[in-house]
Amino acid sequence: MSQVRRFLSFRDFDWGLLGMVLALCTISVLEIYSATLRTKFATFHNKQIVFIVVGMILMFILAKIDYHRLIDWAPWAYGVCLVALVAVKLVGHKALGARRWIQIGPMQFQPSEWVKLVLILMVARYFANLGGRNLTWRDIFKALAMVGVPMLLVLIQPDLGTTLIYAPILVAGLFLGGINLKQALILIAVVLALGAGAWTSGKGLKSYQKARLTSFINPDTDPKGSGYQIRQSLIAVGSGGIWGKGAAKGTQTQGYFLPIPYTDFIFAAFSEEHGFIGAIFVLLLYFFILMRLIQNAQTAADLPGSLIIMGVVAVLTFQIAVNVGMVIGFMPVTGIPLPLMSYGGSSVLFTFLALGVAMNVRMRRFVN
């Protein structure tokens, strides 16, 4: 009973991790303010503050619910998410050629963002129930189907970026669940073969998606088309130098050359204004957050807890790597937001909910 009281008092809450998260959120709000200062989006930093506050409240609420109960509820949530993804395709709000949102009154929400959290719980539940035994091909195919169905539903919206985010959850589950080297190599070979087939056949990927996936190699081949975003991003990052040009003084950002500097390219806008030193500081914050999460996974009370936190780590690591890589020209433009920095309610709320589940596991590491 005393252990339960200690849990409920948030004594074991990871306040150090929360401090680093709030530092990133502060940087996010200030950079969104700077990037939208003279635009019609000038109030977006206020909305971001609301998203952060709501996210923190939800994080504390979710941290109070035993994660074992969340795992038990996961199949029901998975079913609801599949219905929501189908609804998006049928009656979803269309913008920029894609249906990704459901409109409820004045509010919009993106179901594909919530699927990430549900998949983390589902994958943890699935591999924990296997009891750590050697994986059979039957086990692997079931896991592939579980993650593959929502991936296909999101891909046809079309939303390639979010589709790709689901893959690290599966990879983390397979790795921690006990896949052997031979099985892993066969899966990699099959994925590469299917990818090559989809690319050459022209099925599965639209022409603009192909252009995005190839333009980062040499953006100067189409500087006003598919290579424009990466080219302007590279100019912004490079012009920041060591110390940057100062808040609201970036020529690429304030001159409207850098596309959507408050979402996908917020790291480029921040690098232009705060230079190499500022960029390294942000990357170090991400590094310490991920290391803290991994440490919490190592001290989890059971396998489901470790699987949940490592699923969160896999998603955040993938998003950070792809977004930052995109900004500096090492990765293609995929529209994947930078966690805790990019503007957007669905992304911010997912991240805080995922952190809430991770905190939940940490707080219960001494509870039987």
Q: How far is CA 169 from the centre of its chain?
A: 11
The runs of H, that is alpha helices, within the chain are 2-8, 15-35, 44-64, 67-91, 111-129, 137-155, 160-177, 181-201, 207-215, 228-239, 251-254, 266-298, 303-327, 345-363
Give the separation between CA 122 and CA 173, rounded to whole angstroms: 10
Q: Who contacts 309 (Cβ-Cβ below 8 Å, separation ≥6)?
A: 293, 294, 296, 297, 300, 357, 358, 361, 362
Q: How far is CA 30 from the centre of its chain?
A: 21
Q: What is the pLDDT of residues 152-206, one digit of tens each?
A: 988 887 788 888 899 999 999 999 988 888 999 999 999 888 877 776 766 656 6
Q: Which two three-digit tokens encode residue 113? A: 């963002």
Q: How far is CA 39 from the centre of its chain?
A: 27
Residue 35 main-chain phi, psi, to 5 deg: -70, -25
pLDDT at 1: 45
First-to-last CA distance in the chain? 10
Q: Residues 250, 360: contact at Cβ < 8 Å?
A: no
| Number of Cβ within a 10 Å radius of residue 77 | 17
pLDDT at 7: 44
Q: Residues 276, 242: contact at Cβ < 8 Å?
A: yes
Q: Residues 358, 309: contact at Cβ < 8 Å?
A: yes
| Cα torsion angle, 35, 41, 43, 48, sign | negative
DSSP string over 245-296: S-TT--HHHHTT-SSSTTTTTHHHHHHHHHHHHHHHHHHHHHHHHHHHHHHH
Give the separation between CA 164 and CA 160, rounded to whole angstroms: 6
Give CA separation, 15 vs 97, 206, 365, in Å: 42, 45, 16
| Cα torsion angle, 347, 350, 355, 356, sign | positive
pLDDT at 48: 95
Q: Which two three-digit tokens encode residue 254? A: 């304030």
3-state secondary structure of 107: strand
Residue boundaries of the structural domains of the chain: 2-363
Residuewise pLDDT in 10s, the chain (368 residues): 445 454 445 778 889 999 999 999 999 999 999 988 888 888 899 999 999 999 999 999 999 899 999 999 999 999 999 998 888 888 766 665 566 767 666 667 778 888 999 999 999 999 999 877 788 999 999 999 999 999 998 888 778 888 889 999 999 999 998 888 899 999 999 988 887 777 676 665 666 566 666 666 666 566 666 678 888 888 889 888 999 898 888 888 887 788 888 998 999 999 999 999 999 999 999 999 999 999 999 999 889 999 999 999 999 999 999 999 989 888 888 778 999 999 988 889 999 999 999 999 998 887 65
The letter for the amino acid at 7 is F
